[in-house]
Amino acid sequence: MSINRRRFLFNTGLTLAGVAASYKSISTTAFALEPMVSDDLSSWANVRAQFAVSPEYIHLSSFFLASHPRPVREAIEKNRRELDDNPLRAVEEEEFGKPLKIEKAVAEYVGGKPEEIALTDSTTMGLALVYHGLPLKAGQEILTTAHDHYSHHESIRLAAERAGVSVKKIKLFDDFKSISEEEIVGRIKKAVTPKTRVVGVTWVHSSSGLKLPIRAIANAIAEANKGRAEADKTLLVVDGVHGIGAADEIIAQMGADFFVAGTHKWIFGPRGTGIIWAKADNWKMMRPVIPSFDFGPYVAWMQDKKLEGMQASWFSPGGFHSFEHRWALPAAFEFHKQIGRARVAERIHALNHQAKEELAKMKNVKLYTPRGNRLSAGLICFDVDGMKPEAVVKKLLEKRVIASQSPYGVSYARLAPSLLNTPEEVETTLGYIRAMA
């Protein structure tokens, strides 16, 4: 652990002051070392100041794993102190004494109800819980696309093998230049058959930056479901991790049957947190995969009674978690609320528009992400002629720009301008890419 001058002087001062003065918790010291930051989030400079990322770099991969903004850091630290001071009391009061506290904060953001929210540790966990919890039957089919992430495809594969259902993957487009909402929806609509029980898609593709028209896809599936029995209707499962926190959408109104997302990316939530949203009627059909610590199942077990029904909170995995992080999740949603959902999306779109328009002008650069906001969000994928994606990322890192490459069979260099960036930083990065091209 490195010790800077300020920490050295602070620690030395405590030593010289004697035992009485040094009888302070480590957590108090940590708070004393936090720089003073304004609570006014009306300026983007103040928003950026909430994050403790290194100022020596231009951070254009914050979507990967979020740096905690100050309110989230403080909430985590408060929870950690309570757990360290009295673990039993803290868990009894926060985890079991305040039912649906976290779910209420999530529900307000997604536009649903607290009882429609299940809590997970990540998108990967959420997808696995959903696909393994669905009442799939042999002879049915899961339809997905060729563009989804490993975690989505693998959750489908494992669940399909266990249930004896088939899996079909389709391409939503043949060429990046010809991507259209009509073609995307049309291909899904054409691929849905009477045996299709689930359609699994990703809202914003980390492979290309493409944002799917979820409402239009949901409408097409609803049309295909007309006349079908409830047990045979096609369900829409959405991996929404790169849309939530970046797009101005009321998630509960998009038409998904199950919406899964980690909250430690664009939401800037505590690391190791995630959610599943579904309407109450959809939860009723599900089968839990991991025992819950919710009172319903627990009381039924103690009384040796059969558990009737199903609700979202019974789907949240039980056991002991990193509670200091989970209990801090409301602080992340409150942070977004204070900035303003529409304002967040506008800022992200503006920075990404700036980057995409300039990349599109560069002679030896190929842009894959759609330029319009309707089919894109906060991720940009591109190539520089004659350079592999890892070489582009390495060259940018040499200039202290943190970019990334997409972890797929066909990989691209990626930029993701976010609330941590300025137009000047975007232009600086574009200058480096121009020099490469």
Q: For the segment 405-420, what is each residue's pLDDT rounded down to a tens digit? A: 999 999 999 999 999 9
Q: Which residues does 73 contact at the CB level (< 8 Å), separation at least 6?
A: 34, 52
Sheet (strand 365-367) strand order: 365-367, 380-384, 413-415, 404-405
Predicted pLDDT at 26 = 33
Is the model's pLDDT at 353 over the cut of 50? yes
State pTM to two decimals. 0.91
Pairwise CA distance, residues 333 & 231, whole Å? 35
CA dihedral (13, 14, 18, 24) in degrees, to 10, reads 160
Q: For the segment 356-408, what is each residue's pLDDT rounded down to a tens digit? A: 999 999 999 999 999 999 999 999 999 999 999 999 999 999 999 999 999 99
Any domain includes 123: yes
Q: How far apart are the first and last CA of the chain?
A: 39
Any domain includes 45: no
Same domain, 331 and 350: no
Any domain includes 218: yes
Structural domain ending residue among the three candidates 315, 338, 361? 338
Q: Which residues does 125 contact at the CB level (< 8 Å), separation at least 6?
A: 274, 317
What letter does residue 94 receive in the DSSP assignment? I
Same domain, 255 and 402: no
Q: For the segment 82-94, what is each residue's pLDDT rounded down to a tens digit? A: 999 999 999 999 9
Same domain, 287 and 355: no
Rg (CA), the chain: 23
Pairwise CA distance, residues 358 & 365, whole Å? 10
Predicted pLDDT at 34 = 58
Is the model's pLDDT at 3 over the cut of 80? no
Same domain, 332 and 199: yes
Lookup: tokens for 404: 């990334």
Domains in the chain: how many in total?
3
Same domain, 159 and 30: no
Pairwise CA distance, residues 146 & 406, whole Å? 15
Check which CATH number belongs to the domain holding 366 and give it.
Answer: 3.90.1150.10
Whether 380 and 415 have beta carbons less than 8 Å apart is answered as yes
Same domain, 152 and 236: yes
Lookup: tokens for 25: 């918790």
Average pLDDT over residues 416-430: 98
| Containing structural domain, residue 23 | 7-36
Predicted pLDDT at 228 = 95
Same domain, 189 and 99: yes
Is the model's pLDDT at 330 over the cut of 70? yes
Q: For the segment 22-34, what is each residue's pLDDT rounded down to a tens digit? A: 323 333 334 445 5
Same domain, 295 and 375: no
Pairwise CA distance, residues 182 & 188, whole Å? 10
Same domain, 143 and 235: yes
